[in-house]
Amino acid sequence: MPDSTATLTRGAVHRSGRGGWSWFARRYGAILPMAPGMLFLVVMSIYPTIYSLVISLFRWNLSDPTRMRFGGWHNFGLLLTDVTFWNAVGVTFKFVLIAVSLELILGLAIALLFFQRFPGDRFLRALLILPMVVAPVVVGLLSRYMLNVQFGIITFLTEALGLGRIDFFGEPNLALGTLIVIDIWQWTPFMFLIMLAALQGVPEDIIEAAKVDGARPVRIFFDHILHLIRYPVAVAVALRLIDAFRVYDIIFMTTRGGPIDVTQTLSWQIYDAGFKSLDIGYAAAYSWLMLIIVVATVTLVLRLLLNEQASR
Amino acid sequence: MPQNLKRFSFTRRTATAMLLGAAAATALPGMGMAQEQVTLQAIFLPATWGVVVRDVLAPQYEKETGVKVDVQLVGRDAIHEKMATLFAAQDPSFDIFNLDYSWIPEFGAGGHLLPLDDLLSEDDKADLFKTALEVGSWNGTLYGLPQTIHPHVLWYRADLYADPEVQAAYKAKTGSDLAPPTTMAEWLQQAAYFNGTQYEGQTIYGWAAQAAKGFGNVHTWLTFLYGYGGSAFNEDFSASTLSTPEAIAATKQWAEMMKYMPPGSSAFTYDDVTTSAQQGTVATALQWSWGAFAVDDPASSKTVGDWQFVEVPAVEAGGQSHPHLASWVISVSKYSKHADEAKKFTAWLETKANDVLQASLGGGDPVRASSYSDPTLTEAKLEGSDVLRFRRYDVVLKAMQNTKPRPFFPGEEAWETVVSGPLQAIQLGEKSVEDGLAEADAAVDRLLSR
């Protein structure tokens, strides 16, 4: 039966001819509604992406835009042999992996707390998500003032506690850690929200059955709940990884890549190359290498997460 | 009148009015050509000279000429970014830009700025500081009319230095008389002495200067480098020369001095240095001459009239320092649709009268030598006091004779970004002077190869 239907349909198309509106509508009707979106995608995303790849192959400084020389892999070669590039890769990985891991653990832990109803839980939930709705640039500014070693409120606290003045953004051993803590403060609520929604979607009968079987809460969590929420966890981790790789605003408002180069992430380096040195070709090559790193890392982490969970 | 006829009459009147309106709208642009008000778009730094242009001079110019100047105040790095992107697109949105002079080679060589040589008479050229004109030019063409100059000068707390108790204590501890330092060794000794001492109930530190990564620490370090006879590049800017004995000696002195700055100084910007001076938490400061207006502002300063100024100490007694020069210039975009009007406004901003007016309003130090003897400035006193407002001018004039600009080549902005990191590693003690400078050399050579 399916075969004869297909034959009939093809015949009908043939009879109506190829030039008519009805043929066009049948042939492309499904695509037409998507056309504006596709066009938007091409203009706003695909073209710039290809263009950036093209200019990454050129030696091109924006201060003299008419002088554009083809350099082939010159920019990529320079980058891959540049110690500052590898330093930025290291700094970015430290930032991303530590921040996102801790946000995941904390977000899940807080979600488990809020999974049980308790008085005032709604109010507290609303309070918890407040940092997430503040613009990162504002978070950066607030942090700069709060942690200012001369007059910041945190400095008053550390002095009151007998710890003396701590230069959170100026001390090479503390600066990156401070940025990670700020990121965790801002983005743990995002993890919490997704984890809470995921936990609320876990079928209660599975938990009840495990309880009847005599499983302890810890075993229920690791053996059942974690497995059931693996996809929301994967989505949350992927989103946060991508976002954390792009970190820029907080660095701009606080350390500006310093002290020395300890907070010099990939995105900060791209800004330096593109807007301080105006070396657009180099910055484009930098962006492409960063894109490859982000895609590879996210893919790897997702595989690890989902395979790990699936194998349980 | 029947209802439908009334409606017809109303419709006809409306149509006639619309036709007349359309005709007028078509004719007006042509008629208005002669009287069309030109509006210039300008970007200035949000420093006092930018504010003075926006709030005082631009409105005055509009009254005098009918030409409106819309001034936007934009931060330093943002001006650079904006110029680069607007110029790349040959965008005429802005006619006038306020530039850090170190961008003149970059945008001058790119052909994005209009020559301004025709704006200056021979008298103007003789009156304007030669160095200020040189840093506004590239390849012999003037692209930036100087708006303000401010070389590094040494600030010191005159009340502290004049206090007999402090003088006696200093003499007892060091065996030397306390006087404004004339050599680097004296300055270091004084900074070390004052660092962490108490004065009038508060802790004071040895000195303050810009030290933040980016350009701040480079700008401070350059004054040391020049003072010790060092140079950042060879003559044709083809190689970095930061590992010379002069550069090493200068950097060692600078790194040693950095130990006597307030906590958190590795992030010190111009504003932080100003705040420290206003709050009286430092004994000395290496700061732009122009910034002195801020410490004499009773609304924000606890040290009004307390600061005095001397030349940056020399390496040896009887020697000569070479302070690093800061200066901002005004340029006209090649893509401006009102280039002539923009040039006229630029020239008007820097007439002798306006040079003095800007300075008197706190808008940077004058760019004309003659302005430094203008009674409007030289006789001005702080409110309710005999202290001269512009008491720094003698020192500024001396400093202008020996001041040196940043490395003047098209890659300067990128250069200072690259050098800043290794310098900060030195200032924080993470690298030795020799290793840090060798790293800076390698990074600069790498930049040049790009």
Tracing tokens 């051993």 back to the chain, one arrives at A173
Number of compact structural domains in chain A: 2
For residue A149, the distance in angstroms to the closest alpha carbon of chain B comes to 6
Give this prediction's pTM.
0.83
Q: How far apart are CA B171 and CA B179, in angstroms?
A: 11
A279 touching B (Cβ < 8 Å): yes
Residue A262 lies in a domain: yes
Same domain, A222 and A90: yes
Half-sphere CA count of B114, side-chain side, radius 13 A: 23
Q: A212 CA to chain B: closest CA distance, Å?
A: 60
A133 and A50 in a common domain = no
Which amino acid appears at position A204 of this protein?
E
Task: Measure B403 CA to nearest chain A CA, in Å.
Answer: 25
Residues A268, A288, single domain; the answer is yes
The CATH number that applies at residue B296 is 3.40.190.10
Asked whether the beta carbons of residue A260 and residue B430 sit closer than 8 angstroms, the reply is: yes
d(CA B263, CA A166): 9
Same domain, A67 and A213: no
**Can you give the residue range of the structural domain that contains A50?**
17-72
Q: Is A5 a domain residue?
A: no
Say if the Cβ atoms of A167 and B263 lie within 8 Å.
yes
- Tell me if B212 and A167 make a contact (CB, 8 A cut-off): no
Are residues B318 and B330 both part of a single domain? no
Query: Given A82, A170, A172, which is nearest B267 (Cβ)?
Result: A170
**Strands B137-138 and B282-288, bridge-based pairing:** unpaired
CATH number, domain containing residue A184: 1.10.3720.10
What parts of chain B have a pLDDT lower than 50? 1-5, 7-8, 10, 19-34
Asked which of A72, A94, A116 is the last residue of a domain, the reply is A72
Angle among Cα B428, B188, B251 to the nearest 5 degrees reads: 45
| Cβ–Cβ gap A258/B410 under 8 Å | no
Same domain assignment for residues A166 and A66:
no
DSSP for B321-371, written as a single string: --PBEEEEEEEEBTT-TTHHHHHHHHHHHTSHHHHHHHHHTT--B-SBGGG
3-class DSSP state for residue B310? strand
**B77: contact with A, CB 8 A cutoff:** yes
The answer, for B63 touching chain A at a CB cutoff of 8 Å, is: no
B448 touches chain A (CB under 8 A): no
- Domains contained in chain B, number: 2
Per-residue pLDDT of chain A in tens (312 residues, 90 and over written 9) = 444 444 444 444 445 456 678 888 888 888 888 889 989 998 999 999 999 999 999 999 888 888 889 999 999 999 999 999 999 999 999 999 999 999 999 999 999 999 888 888 889 998 999 999 999 999 999 999 999 988 899 999 999 999 988 999 999 999 999 999 999 999 999 999 999 999 999 998 888 898 888 888 888 888 889 889 999 999 999 999 999 999 999 999 999 998 999 999 999 999 999 988 899 999 999 999 999 999 999 999 999 888 765 555
Distance from CA of A62 to the nearest CA of B (A): 6
Domain membership of residue A4 (yes or no) is no
**B424 contacts A259? CB cut-off 8 A:** yes
Q: Check if B106 contacts A (Cβ < 8 Å).
A: yes
Same domain for B395 and B358: yes
Which residues in chain A are closer than 8 Å to B426, comparing Cβ atoms?
A: none
B156 and B145, same structural domain? no
The pLDDT value recorded for residue A207 is 86
- Interface check for B171 against chain A (CB to CB < 8 A): the answer is no
Based on the fold, state whether residues B335 and B231 are members of the same structural domain.
no
Considering the domain architecture, whether residues B169 and B196 belong to the same structural domain is answered as yes
Residue B128's beta-bridge partner residues? B368
A263 interfacial to chain B (CB closer than 8 Å): no
Predicted confidence (pLDDT) per residue in B132-189, tens digit: 999 999 999 999 999 999 999 999 999 999 999 999 999 999 999 999 999 999 999 9
Question: Of the candidates A118, A115, A96, A32, which has an alpha carbon nearest to the alpha carbon of residue A248?
Answer: A96
Residues B293 and B334 both lie in one domain: no
Distance, in angstroms, between A293 CA and closest chain B CA? 23
* ipTM (interface predicted TM): 0.77
Residue of B nearest to A165 (CA): B263
A-B contacts (CB, under 8 Å): 98
- The answer to whether the beta carbons of residues B433 and B252 sit under 8 Å apart is yes
Nearest CA in chain A to B105: A63
Q: Does a structural domain hold residue B221?
A: yes
Query: Which range of residues forms the domain containing residue B284?
Result: 152-324+406-449
Does A125 touch chain B if contact means CB atoms closer than 8 Å? no
